[in-house]
Amino acid sequence: MNIGITSTIPIEVVYAAGHTPCDLNNLFISAPDPDHFIQIAEDAGFPRTTCAWIKGIYGVMRDVDIDTIIIVSGGDCSNSIALGEILKDDGKRVIPFSYPLEPDVSEMEQAISRLAGELGVEPDKITTCKQQLDPIRVQLGKLDQLTWQKMLVTGTENQLYLVSSSDFNGNPELFSTELDNFLKKAKTRQPLKRKIRLGLAGVPPILSNLYPTLDRLDAAVVFNEVPRQFALPWAPECTLAEQYSRYTYPYQVEQRLNDIDRACRQRQLDGIIHYTQSFCFRQIENILFKRKLSIPTLTLEADQPGPIDGRTLTRIETFIEMLLN
Ligand code: SF4
């Protein structure tokens, strides 16, 4: 059975239960016409001032043949809770998954075991599944290294592979084969030469041409903060509960800022673009990004899927120009 997910969750449990996780964000944004899903949500009564990702997920759930969804009810997005209530009323099966308030391994064990109980799967099957997925996460870590250490992988490719690790595109074996082939090819490339090294922090941008635009301006994205977190490349070093306790995204912004700060130094970043989604509560966290990060930071905001508008483009150009001088 396909099970919709709205965010990174312990997919090892879903696969171990014999189901296929399906990241609804990816289905929404990779569709030829993502606006179609937003329209479905607005027709159903979602306010215009609701985050487009939430509306997109709702539209996908209404449009495709998926009857069950795992909603992250703690540690992700308060809008998801209301989304789950609407979907339940629409007749979908809604399974909650809640990250602990603070990273805590024993509380994470309990959260994982509640999810396993909902899906009726035994712990040993989950462990076997983790052992199968861990090597793919290691390969994703290598892809990330080829991005920032060797400049052999573009920011777009890095983002695409790391974001897809939220569900391994529903087929880990195929994903793994494609990733291995990609890595082999990437190693034969000539290193990219770009004057500026950037980090991209925040939720995945809804903009369709951000990476090519930065590339055209001689800036390489060598750190995709949240996608790298989705990939959990540290998995083999720990238990499943530890693996998801080290995932920074569900917790306080301080942990994310420490991770970003480390990346700034290690990856020798010249600047950070902090992407925020219109109507997202995480926009408030931008105050702390501005206060705490010690390198130049540009905040970008977008609402709907589509290309960068003229005003945003000017802000990006000015930022890159400032870094170049
Ligand atoms: S962008 Fe913000 S409001 Fe929208 S789904 Fe993500 S966390 Fe929730």
Looking at residue 152, which CATH number applies to its domain?
3.40.50.11900
What are the phi and psi torsion angles at 310 (to 5°)? -60, -40
What does the pLDDT read at residue 78? 84
What does the pLDDT read at residue 92? 97
Judgement on whether residues 111 and 152 belong to the same structural domain of the protein:
no
Residue nearest to atom 4 of ligand 1 (CA): 51
Judgement on whether residues 275 and 320 belong to the same structural domain of the protein:
yes
Judgement on whether residues 53 and 160 belong to the same structural domain of the protein:
no
Judgement on whether residues 145 and 9 belong to the same structural domain of the protein:
no
93-98, strands of its sheet edge to edge: 20-23, 2-5, 68-74, 93-98
Q: Which amino acid is at 102?
A: E
What does the pLDDT read at residue 82? 95
219-224, strands of its sheet edge to edge: 219-224, 196-202, 271-277, 297-302
How far apart are the CA of 77 and the centre of ligand 1, in A? 6
- CA 204 vs. chain centroid, Å, equals 6
Judgement on whether residues 24 and 169 belong to the same structural domain of the protein:
no
Instruction: Give the CA distances from residue 5 to residues 2, 22, 54, 307, 322, in Å, rounded to whole numbers and listed in that order.
Output: 10, 6, 12, 26, 40
> Which residues touch 270 (CB under 8 Å, ≥6 apart)?
196, 197, 198, 295, 296, 323
Q: Which atom of ligand 1 is nearest to the CA of 76?
A: 7
How far apart are the CA of 69 and the centre of ligand 1, in A? 17
What are the phi and psi torsion angles at 309 (to 5°)? -80, 170
Judgement on whether residues 69 and 144 belong to the same structural domain of the protein:
no
Judgement on whether residues 153 and 228 belong to the same structural domain of the protein:
yes
Residue nearest to atom 3 of ligand 1 (CA): 280
| Residue with tokens 């090892």, as numbered in its chain | 12
How far apart are the CA of 283 and the centre of ligand 1, in A? 10
What does the pLDDT read at residue 76? 84
Judgement on whether residues 72 and 176 belong to the same structural domain of the protein:
no
The last residue of one of the domains, among 103, 123, 143, is: 123
Judgement on whether residues 69 and 146 belong to the same structural domain of the protein:
no
What does the pLDDT read at residue 22? 97
Q: Which residues line ligand 1 (CB under 6 A)?
A: 51, 53-54, 77, 79, 203, 277, 280, 282
Q: Which atom of ligand 1 is nearest to the CA of 52?
A: 4
Q: Which amino acid is at 182?
A: F
CATH number of the domain bearing residue 93: 3.40.50.11890
Q: State the residue range of the domain holding 115.
A: 2-123
Judgement on whether residues 84 and 99 belong to the same structural domain of the protein:
yes
What does the pLDDT read at residue 257? 97
- Residue by residue, DSSP assigns 203-249 as SPP-BSSHHHHHHHTTEEEEEEHHHHHHH-TTGGGS-HHHHHHS--T
What does the pLDDT read at residue 121? 97
The last residue of one of the domains, among 96, 123, 150, is: 123
> Which residues touch 87 (CB under 8 Å, ≥6 apart)?
58, 61, 69, 71, 94
- How many structural domains does the chain have? 2
The last residue of one of the domains, among 107, 123, 139, is: 123
Judgement on whether residues 296 and 189 belong to the same structural domain of the protein:
yes
* pLDDT tens for the 325 residues of the chain, in order: 999 999 999 999 999 999 999 999 999 999 999 999 999 999 999 999 999 999 999 999 999 999 999 999 888 888 999 999 999 999 999 999 999 999 999 999 999 999 999 999 999 999 999 999 999 999 999 999 999 999 999 999 999 999 999 999 999 999 999 999 999 999 999 999 999 999 999 999 999 999 999 999 999 999 999 999 999 999 999 999 999 999 999 999 999 999 999 999 999 999 999 999 999 999 999 999 999 999 999 999 999 999 999 999 999 999 999 999 9
Task: Judge if pTM exceeds 0.75.
Answer: yes
Residue nearest to atom 8 of ligand 1 (CA): 77
What does the pLDDT read at residue 238? 96
Judgement on whether residues 200 and 267 belong to the same structural domain of the protein:
yes
